[in-house]
Structures are given as structure tokens and as C-alpha cells.
Amino acid sequence: MGLKGAETRVRMLDATQTLIEAGGYHAAGLNQVIAASGAPRGSLYFHFPGGKDQLVGASVRRAGGMIGEALEGLADSSASVAEFADAVLRHLGDRLEESGWRKGCPVATVALEIAATSDPLQEVCSEVYASWEDALRARLAGRPDADDLAVVILALVEGALLLARTHRSREPLDRVARRIGVLLG
């Protein structure tokens, strides 16, 4: 694939991610992706011969990787697990607020809407969440409850993002950050 083809693929993935985060799986129709990306229709089927689910899966996986990279960077710059959790919530809160409360979790909308009816998309969502749990677990290394805490922290973060987006307020994120600090002692 040449440079132009790679750029077209990236534009389609960017457009899909934006549409999914703002309105969910059903808002990312192929016509909407083509219009938002400026890509020719033929490029869609060239890059994603499996159609919409392949495109959405690639977009979710890519967005999940971006969040995962941010987690790794925040882990490296945080002195404690509580500081790390606080930094993650601030990062996600900034992302959410800067988007006008449209960019919550790039996985949650797909997981809630379609994972029950699409095995391939369920697998992608599960893979991304598992990678985030792994990042949290790595930061909790040495604690006997690291497996449980990784899941609890991820669930708290996901819930806080949903509430922050719904209320258009950072307050749920701030409250969860404080409770995680207490939880981790």
C-alpha cells in the first residue's frame, strides 16, 4: 500500500472513531464515514473488505491502542498507583471536555451497542479492555490484589466517564479519583 492509500485508511479510521465516540456504532454508517473522511467509496472496500464491522473493529482497536499508549506514558510519570489513576482520570476528563463532552470511551459505545450481537466486535472490545487491565495490573505489580484492583479501577473509570459525559461535568471523574486514592491506601 502506498503513502496515499495509507493516508486514506487513516482518514477512514479517524472518521469512524469520531463518529463512534459521538454517536455510537449506528452513527458510523458507511456513507457517514465516506463523507467525513473524504475517501472514495471503493477505498472503503479495498481497505476493509469485511465491511463495516471490520472497519469499526480496526477503529476500536486503534483507539484502544492510543489510550493504552497514554496509560503507559502516565504510568511512567506517576510516583504511585493513586497518582497514576488520578492522572488517567485527568487525561480522559481533558479529552472528554475538550471534545464538548462527545469523546468518552472509544470502546464503551460499541461494547454496549453491538458486542452482544457481533462476535468479532465483542472480541475486539474484550481485547482492548484486557490490554487496559494489563496496564493497570502492571502498575499494581506486587500487590496480592492486583488482578481484582485492575478490574475495579477500570470499572470505576468507565463508570465515571459515562457519568461525566451524561452530566457534562468533571465532578464524577474527580470523585472517582479521590475514591481510588482511598482504595489504594
Record the cell numbers describing residue 167, joined without a space.
452530566
What are the contacts of 37-46 at 24+ separation with CB within 8 A? 37/8, 37/11, 37/12, 38/11, 39/8, 39/11, 39/12, 39/15, 40/8, 43/5, 43/8, 43/9, 43/12, 44/12, 46/5
What is the per-residue pLDDT across 29-88, written as a single tens digit (0 to 9) for each?
999 999 999 999 899 989 999 999 999 999 999 999 999 898 888 888 888 888 888 898
- Cα 127 to Cα 110: distance, rounded to the nearest angstrom: 13
Give the residue-averaged pLDDT of 18-26: 91
**Whole-angstrom Cα distance, residue 36 to residue 31?**
9
Domain chopping of the chain, boundaries? 3-184
Residue-wise pLDDT tens digits, 99-130: 999 988 889 999 999 988 999 999 999 999 99
Average pLDDT for 159-181? 96
Mean pLDDT of the chain: 92
For the chain, give the percent of residues with pLDDT over 70.
98
Q: 3-184 in CATH: which number? A: 1.10.357.10
Across the chain, the runs of DSSP E, i.e. the strands, are none
Within 10 A of 135 (CB to CB), how many other CB atoms are there? Answer: 22
